[in-house]
């Protein structure tokens, strides 16, 4: 399994989720002069752009995240997604996020299994050519490819013989973006819920929650709006799928939450936890992810 090949270029161009950060969790010094504004400002600095590659490790390190492999998708489910290019691409996006999350957690065995699942789906949808270019050892090197996922993924699709039109390729690309986005915010939302559920917490732990809240809301807006717009343009190919409705609702909620973000970020943790719009976004993300990862099963 150690010889399994995968494209460093594809991995590190992982649109919404990847990173060049250390896989070691950040150790914050004890806070003697806790500055809430500084926590919020640091969180705002995480760039939510769909094409940025330096997010996942930055986010996890910033908020002292604990690794939990239960949150990732079963790598042995990959074969069940090979009935539809769109579903295959969405789950490829999920597995690519999982690869980097396992890397963060130091779980090499799970990471290689997710590699194998991603490789299987990449071959199915016709973007497997890059998966033979680099070994896993390249992931931990210091030289990292900073290409955007849009440029790379579209280039690979253009080389594929699986598609008859540009519209088909764009649709599959959008599906990949959806899968990657959903997995990233799924990680963030579960981490946020877990941290808010603590009965007692230090000022530093409160700060982690406020940082993660701001990052999560920045992930939702503008990304959900961009994806909702892309899906609307491609709705003729969306027969039988509920993604448009879900993303429209997420877009609506992300706008509402953006309007109160500054107030919510400094509110008591109990008020943050009780915010119904925030809780609804958690549920929508979980439901959307469930639809994607159980397709074909």
**pLDDT tens-digit profile of 76-105?**
999 999 998 889 989 988 998 888 788 888
Tell me the average pLDDT of the chain: 76
Residues 6+ apart with CB under 8 A from 45: none
Q: In the chain, where do the E strands start and end?
A: 5-6, 134-135
Q: Which residue in the block uniquely carries the two structure tokens 């996890």? A: 60
Per the CB < 8 A criterion, the answer to whether 69 and 240 are in contact is no
DSSP 28: P
Q: From CA 200, how far away is CA 196, in angstroms rounded?
A: 10
Structure tokens at 180: 């990657």
Banded model confidence at residue 17, pLDDT cuts 50, 70, 90:
very low
Q: From CA 211, how far away is CA 200, in angstroms rounded?
A: 18
Q: From CA 126, how far away is CA 199, in angstroms rounded?
A: 49
Over the stretch 149-202, which tens digit does the pLDDT of each residue have? Answer: 444 455 566 667 888 877 787 788 888 888 888 998 999 999 999 999 998 999
Over the stretch 24-77, which tens digit does the pLDDT of each residue have? Answer: 444 444 344 556 677 567 666 666 665 554 566 677 777 888 899 999 999 999
Look at residue 6 and tell me whether its pLDDT is greater than 80: no
């Amino acid at each position: 399994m150690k010889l399994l090949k995968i494209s460093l270029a594809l991995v590190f161009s992982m649109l919404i989720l990847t990173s060049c950060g250390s896989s070691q969790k950040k150790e914050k010094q004890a806070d003697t002069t806790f500055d809430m504004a500084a926590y919020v400002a640091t969180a705002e600095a995480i760039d939510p752009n769909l094409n940025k590659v330096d997010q996942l490790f930055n986010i996890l390190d910033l908020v002292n995240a604990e690794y939990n492999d239960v949150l990732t998708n079963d790598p042995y489910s990959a074969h069940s997604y090979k009935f539809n290019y769109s579903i295959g691409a969405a789950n490829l996006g999920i597995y690519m996020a999982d690869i980097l999350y396992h890397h963060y957690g130091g779980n090499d065995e799970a990471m290689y299994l997710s590699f194998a699942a991603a490789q299987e789906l990449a071959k199915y949808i016709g973007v497997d050519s890059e998966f033979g270019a680099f070994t896993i050892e390249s992931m931990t090197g210091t030289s990292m490819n900073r290409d955007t996922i849009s440029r790379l993924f579209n280039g690979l699709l253009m080389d594929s013989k699986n598609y008859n039109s540009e519209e088909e390729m764009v649709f599959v690309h959008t599906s990949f973006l959806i899968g990657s986005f959903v997995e990233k915010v799924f990680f963030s939302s579960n981490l946020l819920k877990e941290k808010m559920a603590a009965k007692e917490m230090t000022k530093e732990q409160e700060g982690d929650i406020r940082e993660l809240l701001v990052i999560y809301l920045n992930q939702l807006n503008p990304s959900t709006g961009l994806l909702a717009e892309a899906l609307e343009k491609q709705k003729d190919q969306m027969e039988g799928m509920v993604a448009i409705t879900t993303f429209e609702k997420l877009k609506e909620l992300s706008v509402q939450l953006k309007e109160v973000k500054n107030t919510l970020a400094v509110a008591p943790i109990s008020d943050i936890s009780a915010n119904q719009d925030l809780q609804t976004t958690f549920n929508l993300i979980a439901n959307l992810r469930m639809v994607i990862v159980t397709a074909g099963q």
